[in-house]
Amino acid sequence: MKSGKVLIAQGGGPTAVINQSLVGAVLEAQRYAQVDRIYGAVHGVRGIVDENFMDLSMETAGNLERVAAMPSSALGSTRDKPDRAYCAEMFKVLKAHDIRSFFYCGGNDSSDTVRIVKEFADEANYEFTAMHIPKTIDNDLMANDHTPGFPSAAKFVACAFAGVNMDNRALPGVYVGVVMGRHAGFLTGAAAMARVFADDGPHLIYVPERTFDMNTFLADVKSTYDKYGRCIVAVSEGVHDAEGTPIVTKLQENVERDAHGNVQLSGTGALADLLCDEIKAKLGIKRVRGDTFGYLQRSFLGIVSEVDAREAREVGQKAVQEALRHNASGTITIKRVGNYASAYELANVKEVAALTKVMADNFITTASNDVTADFIHYLRPLLGSNPLEHAARLMAPMVEKILHK
């Protein structure tokens, strides 16, 4: 490969381990003689267009390791979704700075950007490699068993629901927790890992892979409440009706939309509030509470899967190896080997770009209000150490009543 500079960028929603991929790529790139400098684009592709570059070659190894352990995107991110015209401007900047390898850590839209920029380089006969490094807490990238960022977010969701379950058991009522996931319910399903005892919540789990019916939902809540005297619900922000309309838009007068015209699901507590209102109004249960986990899931400091951190580092390293050692372009994918190991493979970005993976049918119960043992088996090794393995309850017998027999 021709000597030149390396450019690394981070795009989309941050994760707890995205900086492991950044640092893995930087440290690996330093090993190759053909690399003149290693740049970082500040705020993703927007930083490329605006020529806002940081010279990561000047970072010490010690500081890079400290950054690797920090959540969120150290370089800053962007929600820009480049089209061909946008990518043409990016390529002009890349060429002007003699960038010969581009690494973009992001989701499916980011992989599509990698594809388009590489096409411009090929058309210009410019020697150039472009690699997509996978990242998303939604776990919705095709061609991957799972995606870096998801296991740590899943561990946070499981721990949060475990705490909610203990709280709800002490002061019973109905609790509704809304979890990120527009099209895929993997993260919401992770709430099931909070269960230790037979009556632990969440008792009901609803994902966007299945149609959400309000009457069925209310019947499920009532049945659970009648059985346990309490009910904990985990629900994906993207649950929708039979026509595909998000439930939040059916219950809300003013619908907020993002820059791409999508209904704003994250960063609003509307769905939790509306579902709680329906439970109070239709079931007459007085103690009903709701939360929206929102951005807490993405970069929560202190709850990180060690498996996730290791794999995030290794996909960054693997991307650099493929680009600089084998002059390859594409995306790095994670494959599951045995029970449990991970393997990394190079794939064409077209296998990932602008596509969405959803939960397999065997991960969701027939009643569509819970996940199956297959999903638990899939998720458990990704979470690393289990903070619930020493969960305990008071087991002492009750004292016989004297006055109120």
Biggest CA-to-CA distance, the chain? 91
Read off the pLDDT of residues 84-100 as tens digits, 9 standing for 90 and up: 999 999 999 999 999 99
Residues annotated within a binding site for diphosphate:
13
Side-chain-facing half-sphere of 50: CA atoms under 13 Å: 12
Residues annotated within a binding site for Mg(2+):
108
User: How crowded is residue 222: how many other Cβ atoms within 10 Å of its Cβ?
Assistant: 17
Read off the pLDDT of residues 191-210 as tens digits, 9 standing for 90 and up: 999 999 999 999 999 999 99
Give the confidence band of 248 by pLDDT, cuts at 50, 70, 90: confident
Side-chain-facing half-sphere of 186: CA atoms under 13 Å: 28
Catalytic site residue 138?
A: yes
CA-based angle 147:148:152, to the nearest 5?
115
**DSSP at 401:** P
Read off the pLDDT of residues 30-68 as tens digits, 9 standing for 90 and up: 999 999 999 999 999 999 999 999 999 999 999 999 999
CA 111 to chain centre: 16
Q: What is the pLDDT of residue 260?
A: 46
Read off the pLDDT of residues 337-348 as tens digits, 9 standing for 90 and up: 999 999 999 999
The residue ranking higher by pLDDT, 254 or 235, is 235
Going edge to edge, which strands form the sheet with 174-179? 204-206, 231-236, 174-179, 288-292
Q: Calculate helix-pair angle for 108-123, 84-96, nearest 10 degrees.
A: 60
Q: Which amino acid is at 371?
A: V
DSSP-based three-state secondary structure for 164: helix
Cα–Cα distance for residue pair 77/44, rounded to 1 Å: 5
Per DSSP (E only), the strands in 129-280 are 129-134, 174-179, 204-206, 231-236
Give the confidence band of 250 by pLDDT, cuts at 50, 70, 90: confident
**DSSP at 10:** E
Catalytic residue among 80, 138, 140, 220: 138
pLDDT exceeds 60 at position 269: yes
pLDDT exceeds 90 at position 386: no
Q: Which of 91, 103, 2, 101 is nearest to 44 (CA)?
A: 103
What domains are defined for the chain?
4-148+304-351 (3.40.50.450), 151-302+359-383 (3.40.50.460)
User: How crowded is residue 227: how many other Cβ atoms within 10 Å of its Cβ?
Assistant: 11
What's the whole-number mean pLDDT along residues 377-398? 93
Tokens 């969440």 belong to residue: 202
Q: Which of 230, 106, 111 is nearest to 168 (CA)?
A: 230
Q: What is the pLDDT of residue 2?
A: 81
First-residue to last-residue Cα distance in the chain:
85
Give the confidence band of 389 by pLDDT, cuts at 50, 70, 90: confident
To the nearest whole percent, how much of the chain has pLDDT over 70? Answer: 95
Read off the pLDDT of residues 291-320 as tens digits, 9 standing for 90 and up: 999 999 999 998 999 999 999 999 999 999
In contact, 174 and 231? CB cutoff 8 Å: yes
Residues annotated within a binding site for substrate:
136-138, 180-182, 237, 295-298
Give the confidence band of 253 by pLDDT, cuts at 50, 70, 90: low
Read off the pLDDT of residues 322-379 as tens digits, 9 standing for 90 and up: 999 999 999 999 999 999 999 999 999 999 998 999 999 999 999 999 999 999 999 9
Residues annotated within a binding site:
13, 108, 136-138, 180-182, 237, 295-298
Q: Which of 144, 186, 96, 178 is nearest to 383 (CA)?
A: 186
Helix (H) or strand (E) holding 317: helix 306-320
Give residues with Cβ within 8 angstroms of 402, minimum separation 6. none
What's the whole-number mean pLDDT along residues 138-165? 98
Tokens 């819970």 belong to residue: 370
Cα–Cα distance for residue pair 274/236, rounded to 1 Å: 14
Provide the sign of the torsion angle of the four alpha carbons 62, 64, 65, 71, taken in this order: positive
User: How crowded is residue 47: how many other Cβ atoms within 10 Å of its Cβ?
Assistant: 25
